[in-house]
Structure 1
Amino acid sequence: MVTRIVKSALFAAPLMLAPALSGVVLQDTVFAKHVSAGTAFAQEEQKPKHKTRKTPALRENVYKKLAEVQVFTDAGDWNGALKELNEIKSESSKWNGYELAQLYNYYGFVYYSLERYNDSLNAYERVIANPDDIPEGLETATLFTMAQLYFIQENYRKAIDLLTRWMNLSPIVGADAYVLRGQAHYSLNEFDKALPDINWAVNDYEGKGKIPKENWFALQRAIYYEKGDNKMVIKILEKLVRHYPKTSYWRQLSGMYGTVGREKDQLHSLEAAYMMNAVKNEKELLNLAYLFLGEEAPYKAAKIIDKGIKDKNIEPTSKNLEVLSQAWRMAQEIKKSLPEMEKAAAKSDNGDLYARLAGLYLDNDMLDKAIDAGKVALKRGGVKRADSLHIVMGMAYVTKKQYDSGISSFKEAAKDKRSVKFANQWIQFAEAEKHREQQLKL
């Protein structure tokens, strides 16, 4: 049995990078020198330095007014900060472009903190309206912040456009930015565009001997899954169970192994999850049991089904009890097999399981029960191999020296060409035994 993995089971959407607004907006540019956006990503792609812009100065009186806003933001009093900004704005008619940009930079942050995202975006648009008036660091920081805000609003197209602008301007672009853009493309079902970004980030980390973040692997796995590349999905899941060994990844890996016919690996992965007490779903438990049966480990299969029924994770249906009985029988645990087959037969809608039960009784020299079970099977009907059942009953009758009944059963079996030869041999034997006993009585 192969576990089917649906998309929802395979992939939990990676966490979006939380907007680092406090670090982007309230940077040292307000009070001292500007710090380039992307400092948090200062690991990866170094770009040629751009020509330094000559921007207007931030005058002392403006600095002091903005510092008053900082007092409110530090205290988390966003309404107070907004009121202060509005008062300052009324006096800003003679401010230069750089000073106005810093004012709207604060507006953007305060509006964001008040969850007024559209107002926040409008404010940030004012920050970068005249890029020649602001340092490049402030422009790049604002672009990145806006990209994340658009991501929050699920405007992924705009987020991608701004991220790309930011990446083209920023002297340092880290793996996180590529992941964010890749996730935006993924959200738009642009898998061919998402893949290069996430692969760049993962390869960059692995190339430096670092372990990529868990949600990076999750995004990469989801993209390959959407593209139908199961082999790559397996490779990524193998990394996940190695670096982030969660039970859900073991279960997903088992399912993916099943899709490519790697049944032994499928078994081992699902067993690992089972050993971690993570497999409690009836379908997965039965799947694991069938895999063990396929690998000729019936005892383990029986133990899994038996425990699943006792824990009420597997419903004791006729079919499930039948499989449990067969597993115990294959494991040479006949005493455990019989009761399960009895329960399975009692719950069955036809006589076929009673026919099998008759065979079990015969194997254990329980002749009367074999005959009784056979009679019930014939009465109920639906026996797949009635000829085999008649042979079982005939053998039970003959062993009990009830030769006429045995011969009658074998004659019924002989009506099926599949059993005619074997049945006739038994008829000859039964007749010979009957004649021999009659001669002994003379």
Structure 2
Amino acid sequence: MMKKQTNKLLSAITFAIASATVTVPSMVVSTEAVAQEQRASDRPTRRVPTLRSKVYEQLSRAQTAADEAGNVEEAIAILKEVEEKSSSMNSYEKAMMYNFFGFIYYNNEDYDMALESFEKVVDQQPIPERFEMTTLFSLAQLHLMQGNYSRTIEFLERWEAINTGVIPPKNKVLKAQAYYQNKQYAEARDWITQAIVEHEAEGMLPDEGWLILQRAIFYELKQPEQVKDVLVKLVKLYSEPKYWIQLAGMYGELGEERKQLAIMESAYQQGYVESAADIFNLAQLYYYHRAPFKGALLMEQAMNDGVLESNLRNLKFLGQSWTLAKEQDKAIPVMMQAAELSEDGEIDAQVAQILLNEERFEEAIEAADRAIEKGEMRNPGLVYLIKGMSLYNMKQYALALNQLAEAEAHDKSRAMARQWKQFVQSEKDQAERLAAELDAE
């Protein structure tokens, strides 16, 4: 049961993370940005033409219309006028024009046109390398947002072909996201692992989103040990309640139930075990690790607080926990509540057994009768056996023998019923002889 719930829990996390980690930077183009582009150190072999001031002034006028006046249509119209004269423009000027187009379309949330415009930027050659690389990276981000994962990888690889230095972790993470969304999990694993390892080697803490992505990738690759290791890191670095619960679930997946219980207990002490599902899971762990009293107290408090519903499943398990804890006075009323909600006689039969053990014979017979009336029990002969034993203890030997005969008719209870019949018959005979002797005196 714990494994199934963990799988559900882990499946929900896997499908939710991918789109949440993409952030497209601002694409504002300013005079200073242009100046920086012109000052950027390019490869010696790439000669870039100059952006003439009269062209920039027209582009800036479009940006002003979009930014200050908020008139997108006017801004686009100005740029189209510039575009009509593009035959007289050099590659750098055309690239800047399409960059302005892309910026305006992006801010207007017209992402298809923004992509088309930015792709035209990198089609113009030659342009400054830094300008080209910045645009390629933005294109990769935008394509990821639009679900074009193969195009994301394509533009990142074009960026890498120009780059002469170390690939930054953010690029590797973006590539890992694209591979993950494209269901190429092995490739995604390699890139996210590189990003995290290199970042940590520089003494930096990995971003929480990176670790979430890495965990999802390992989960898809069916590598639970690695999923657990990432969750350990998430717990240490970010200590979110959900990570504690998920880590406990992964220990359960790996068959390390003691660690699972230890993590859940620690989470509970920190106030992280709050939902009905998590409370029930912890109660189950207590039960399976022979600490039913703790589990019963936990469930009882949760029911009193209204967190845990007093339904058939919960009441039945609470009663079983009190029973295993040898707290029969607490178990009996809870099991009776559960029996009232049950349509079959199984729980009533369990109540009858407990009452017999507690020597509450009349109540045991009543519970057994309720079980017989409902029926649908795994061992129907058991309740007749319980009735027979209860009647024997009440010294109603003849009635006891009748019930034991009923028990003998069922396969599962036949052997024990025969033994009890012999014993009760012997006791009955002895009691009758003693009564006859007393009458003779």
Map 1:10-409 onto structure 2 (within 5 A).
10-11=13-14, 12-14=16-18, 15-22=20-27, 25-26=29-30, 28-34=32-38, 50-51=43-44, 53-72=46-65, 74-75=67-68, 77=70, 79=72, 80-90=74-84, 93-132=87-126, 134-172=127-165, 173-274=167-268, 276-282=271-277, 284-311=278-305, 314-409=308-403
d(CA) in 2 for partners of 1:234, 1:418: 49
| CA gap 1:119/1:329 in 2 versus in 1, 3 angstroms | closer
Q: How many residues align?
A: 428
Q: Quickly say closer, same or farther: Cα 1:236–1:277, change in 2 above 3 A.
A: closer
Whole-angstrom CA distance in 2 between matches of 1:124 and 1:230: 41
Task: Tell me the alpha carbon deviations over residues 270-323 of structure 1, each in whole angstroms, 9 at most, x when there is no partner.
Answer: 4455553554244x5433322211101111222343344445555544444232
- Deviation, structure 1 residue 348: 2.8
RMSD of the TM alignment (CA)?
3.0
- Is the CA contact 2:37–2:131 (under 8 Å) kept in the aligned structure 1? no
Describe the superposition over 1:157-212 as per-residue Cα deviations: whole angstroms up to 9, x where unpaired.
11210111112213453111111111111111111222211111111122223221
1:40 is matched with which residue?
none
Where is the helix percentage greater, Structure 1 or Structure 2? Answer: 2
2:47 match: secondary structure: coil
Q: CA separation in 1, counterparts of 2:346 and 2:437?
A: 40
Q: 1:253 to 1:365 in 2, by over 3 A?
A: same
Residue type of the alignment partner of 2:131: L
Cα distance between partner residues in 2 of 1:385 and 1:84: 87
Shift of 1:9: 1.9
Aligned to 1:3: 3
Residue-by-residue CA offset, 1:346-380 (whole Å, 9 max, x unaligned): 33333333332222223333222122223333344
How many Å apart are 1:402 and its aligned residue? Answer: 2.5
C-alpha deviation, 1:73, in angstroms: 5.2
Cα displacement string for residues 107-157 of structure 1 (whole angstroms, at most 9, x for unaligned residues): 22112212223332333233223322x211111112112222222222111
CA distance in structure 2 between the partners assigned to 1:73 and 1:31 by the alignment: 21
Q: Is the contact between residue 230 and residue 260 of structure 1 (CA under 8 Å) also seen in structure 2? A: yes
Is the contact between residue 283 and residue 296 of structure 2 (CA under 8 Å) also seen in structure 1? yes
Q: Which amino acid is 1:165 matched to?
A: R
User: Comparing both chains, which one has the higher relative contact order based on Cα–Cα distances under 8 Å and sequence gaps of 6 or more?
Assistant: 1
Output the amino acid matched with 1:428. S
Question: Structure 1: how far apart are the matches of 2:191 and 2:183?
Answer: 14
Contact map agreement 1:411 1:427 (CA 8 A) in 2: no
Task: Report the Cα distance in structure 1 between the residues aligned to 2:143 and 2:432, rounded to whole angstroms.
Answer: 94
Q: Which residue of 2 aligns with 1:424?
A: 422
Distance 1:320 1:97, change over 3 A: closer
Q: Post-superposition shift, 1:417?
A: 1.5
Change (3 A) 1:413 1:118: closer
Shift, 1:336, TM fit: 1.5
After TM superposition, the structure 1 stretch with the greater mean CA deviation from structure 2, 2-11 or 196-205, is 2-11
Q: Which runs of 5+ in 1 are unaligned?
A: 38-48
Over 3 Å counting, the alpha-carbon distance change for 1:352 and 1:154 in structure 2 is: closer
Query: Which TM-score applies when normalising by structure 1?
Result: 0.85
C-alpha spacing 1:427/1:309, structure 2 compared with 1 (3 Å): farther
For residues 19 and 305 of structure 1, the distance between their equivalents in structure 2, rounded to whole angstroms, comes to 47
Any gaps of 5 or more consecutive residues in structure 2? none
For 1:153, give the aligned amino acid.
Q
When residues 88 and 405 of structure 1 are mapped into structure 2, their CA distance, relative to the original with a 3 A threshold, is same
**For the structure 1 residues 118 and 403, does the alpha-carbon distance in structure 2 shift closer, same or farther, using more than 3 Å as the test?**
closer
Please say which of residues 51-60 and 152-161 is displaced more in the overlay. 51-60
Return the alpha-carbon distance in structure 2 between the equivalents of residues 378 and 92 of structure 1: 93
In the alignment, the residues of structure 2 paired with residue 436 and residue 190 of structure 1 have an alpha-carbon distance, to the nearest angstrom, of 87
* Alpha-carbon separation, structure 2, partners of 1:256 and 1:36: 50
**Counterpart of 1:353 in structure 2: which amino acid?**
I
Provide closer, same or farther for how the CA distance between residues 355 and 278 of structure 1 changes in structure 2, counting only shifts above 3 A: closer
> Could you say if the C-alpha distance between residues 178 and 362 of structure 1 is closer, same or farther in structure 2, counting changes exceeding 3 Å?
same
The normalised TM-score by structure 2 is: 0.85
